[in-house]
Amino acid sequence: MKIEHIAVSSNSEEDSDNFFVKLLGLKKLRSFVVSGDLMAQFFRVKKEHKVIRYGNEEVSIEVFITDDKSKAIDKFTHICLVIEDRAKLIDTARQMNCEVIKVPRKNSDVFYLFLKDKFGNLYEIK
């Protein structure tokens, strides 16, 4: 089995570009619109949505743009990403006002790291 893509939401294309392009370094691959009829059939939301696909050779993420002020309500669902330079990512995330969650590991100098985007999606960083 292979994961083809992961989908999340964002309030705006600007927030989405900032998180996925500026912070994570992914490329903006394409965008498309899903009609309100299809959205209703797939997700029970009868509103047209723009979707932006970001990615690189190892990951593909679709972002549904809500164009509203809604936020993620699920507290546990997250995506785990492997990043080469966590220290640099933490610095950049803080400069961009992303929520950085660092939790020390018991009896260790290392820590668990999570980032939360402006929508409230949660990303574990390894």
Which residue ranges form the domains of the chain, and what is each CATH number?
6-125 (3.10.180.10)
74, HSE (Cβ side, Cα atoms, 13 Å): 9
Q: For the chain, which residues score pLDDT lower than 70?
A: none
**Which pLDDT belongs to residue 2?**
87
**Which pLDDT belongs to residue 91?**
97
**Which pLDDT belongs to residue 22?**
97
Task: Report the DSSP pairing between strands 60-65 and 6-10.
Answer: parallel
Assign 40 to helix, strand or coil. helix
- For the entire predicted model, the pTM comes to 0.90
Residue 95's Cβ-count burial label (10 Å; 0-12, 13-18, 19+) is: exposed
d(CA 81, CA 45) in angstroms, rounded, equals 29
d(CA 106, CA 66) in angstroms, rounded, equals 39
**Which pLDDT belongs to residue 25?**
96
